[in-house]
Chain A
Amino acid sequence: MSMANSRRDFLGMVFGGFAGAGGLAALYAMKRTWDPLPSVMAAGFTTVDLSPMKAGELRTVTWRGKPIFILKKPPEENCNHIPDETKKRLVKVGDSEYLVMIGLCTHLGCIPSWEPDKKTFHCACHGGEYDACGVNTFGPPPRPMDIPPFKIEGTKLVLGEEGPEYKKMVGKA
């Protein structure tokens, strides 16, 4: 009797384990099916030539479907709120300095608009405000605008690749 029972238990456990392994494999397949496709991943690079930009000009480029703000800094201008933070966020390309950031509000992802006379970014969705360096100064945004991974090649900026300047900036090097 106990012999038969334990054999039955054993069969039950083997069956359960087998079905469980199959279920896990299926779950993994389902997870991978929802992952971004290889073609989407491969299209994740954008190259921008920064040399024609004027001081104080803001340019918006698209990278991975997101707006990227590139602001060429005039030499005298500064973000007064947090000077250290500003220095950390400036990218030196050639002789000039640039601010490069993902133009999405860090609260819920709307696109803040640049107000050149006030030198601020204003997000209309929930009233968030950022200074000219993309540092959050008011409202619900929890952190400054994110820095996209970039690499510098001469006067060109390659978005999507982690160059040494990027790694230094985000403290990965």
Chain B
Amino acid sequence: MAHFTKANSVYEWLDQRLALDKLWKVLAAEYWIPKNINFLWAMGVVLMTMFTILLISGIFLLMYYKPDTKLAFDSVNYTIMQEVWFGWLWRHMHAVAASVVFLVIYIHMFTGIYYASYKRGREMIWISGMLLFVTFSAEAFSGYMLPWGQMSYWAAQVITNLFGGIPFIGDDLVVWIRGNFYVSDPTLTRFFMLHVLLMPLIIMAIIGLHFYTLRIPHVNNQDGEEIDFDAEAEKYKAGLKKESKVIPFWPVFLSKDFFVLGVFMIFYFYLVFYHYDFAMDPINFDPANPMKTPPHIYPEWYFLWSYEVLRGFFFNVGPLSAMDMGLIAFGIANVIFFFLPWFDKNDEVAPASRRGGFKVWFWLLVIDMIVLTIWGKLPPTGFNAYIGYVAAVGFLALWAALPAVTARKTGLLWFVILVTLALYVAGYMEYTKALGNGFLIVSLFVIFYLLFFLNPVMVRNRGGAR
């Protein structure tokens, strides 16, 4: 056992028993951050703050919310909004934070992609981050259902119905998930449990993992420079603060984080007090009615891109129905980001601006996802259906092309581009009813999906992109 001496203060007493000094050094005072990073690296702290706000505002909402289909709607829209002092504040803070947290997650993700922060030793950071994205999605969806409005109800109906697409067990699985033949009380109570207990627990555990994954490879920087953190830290501790390439997280780097956080919080509270309605769909102020569907159903803005991939396919191809293709594409869209470190065949860590073809790829992906998001909100009728198809195939094509782009295999890249263009032409002919489930379109899709699944295995790296 360790040797204990009489402590002269409460801090010393605790330090002897809990090594507070050492813990603080490891977590903050000697956790080294490169100097060369911009405001985009502050998004982690912004996210942590948003999560804390969600947790605290959620606790206050939980005290008056009633998870019962007969009471839920009024407990939110009457009790919390009208009766509880400052109930409106917690609700608006919770709803706005739930929405902007996704905005910041997307910025955080695309910063990681832009600066290649997902490769060469940083794969676990990327994977744990993607796990957080998925669990946040589940958390957002289960929470969206709780006010038991019309949009909540039909979102739950549609999302639980998706499981019906699984072969053989689909129909039974849907009943099992709902706990009834339709979305009803047991569905609400189990989603309530997921939202207030299980998902937050999992999220907190993964946040811990996400921080831990940073410990060994350390944070990337604007130039993708490989820094010897131990040597640079020694310089800093020796007083050569100017020469050292690193700074401690506390208090030096956090001061920058706090500035960015401050600007962000102005934006956040502006939304909370003046534009809280952007996070609230008007249809959700009608109580849920299982016997009447609203004319146009769409998810919250942050799910629109994957929703559009789901419904982007509007014609059957041989034995594959439009719905099956949508489900396959939706499945791919939801897991493909996990595999980014392996789809990118180039080992070099550098910002996209210095990576030639990857730069084009990155901005095309951003544009395509914006198009998917916009068209995901529009009704899928007329020419909108075809634009959705182009954007959905485009999304898959970009991922199929990534290994070819990064390994600089121009032949393969052209092949992907040609197949994609052919799919657009075939899709347009199908749209104008000139082509009916022809052999051509079947074989094109076969080539496309083969390309997609075999691509990262086939292509070998041919060195850096310079």
Contacts and interface: CB of A to CB of B under 8 A. Distances in A.
Interface of A: 31, 34-37, 40, 44, 60, 62, 64-67, 107-111, 123-127, 139-142
B456 to A, nearest CB: 30
A140 B182 contact: no
Contact of B322 (A124, A125, A140): A140
B345 interface: no
Contacts of B200: none
Contacts of A139: 314, 322
Contacts of B157: 108-110
B459 interface: no
Please list the 4 inter-chain residue pairs (A to B) with the smallest Cβ-Cβ separation, ordered nearest first.
A65-B182, A64-B181, A109-B161, A142-B321
Given A65-B181, A125-B293, A142 B380 contact: no
B190 to A, nearest CB: 7
A35 B177 CA distance: 8
A46 B257 CA distance: 62
20 contacts: A34-B177, A34-B190, A35-B179, A36-B179, A37-B186, A40-B180, A40-B181, A60-B291, A65-B184, A65-B290, A66-B181, A108-B162, A109-B161, A124-B293, A126-B380, A127-B379, A127-B380, A140-B311, A140-B322, A141-B323
Contacts, number: 82
Contacts of A36: 175-176, 178-181, 186
Which residue of A64, A111, A126, A141 has the most chain B CB atoms within 10 A of its CB atom?
A: A126
Interface residues of B, number: 38
B381 interface: yes
B179 A40 contact: yes
A67 B290 CA distance: 8
A107 B161 CA distance: 9
B179 A34 contact: yes
Contacts of B158: 108-110, 125
A142 B180 CA distance: 24
Contact of A140 (B154, B291, B326, B379): B326
B295 interface: yes
Contacts of A62: 291
Contacts of B197: none
B296 interface: yes
B292 interface: yes
Contacts of B381: 127
B292 A111 contact: yes
Contacts of A124: 293-296
A66 B291 CA distance: 7
Nearest to B382: A127
Nearest to B320: A142
B297 A67 contact: no
Interface string B331-349: 0000000000000000000
Nearest to A66: B182
A44 B321 CA distance: 31
A110 B154 contact: yes
B292 A110 contact: no
B125 interface: no
B202 to A, nearest CB: 16
Given A127-B381, A139-B314, A111 B181 contact: no
A76 B54 CA distance: 61
Contact of B176 (A34, A37, A109): A34
Contacts of A111: 291-293
A126 B315 CA distance: 13
Interface string B229-273: 000000000000000000000000000000000000000000000
Contacts of B177: 34
B405 interface: no
Contacts of A141: 323
A145 B293 CA distance: 16
Interface string B290-307: 111111110000000000
Given A34-B176, A108-B158, A110-B154, A125 B296 contact: yes
A168 to B, nearest CB: 21
Given A66-B290, A125-B158, 14 more contacts: A34-B176, A34-B177, A34-B179, A35-B179, A36-B179, A40-B181, A40-B186, A64-B181, A108-B157, A110-B157, A110-B297, A111-B291, A127-B385, A140-B314
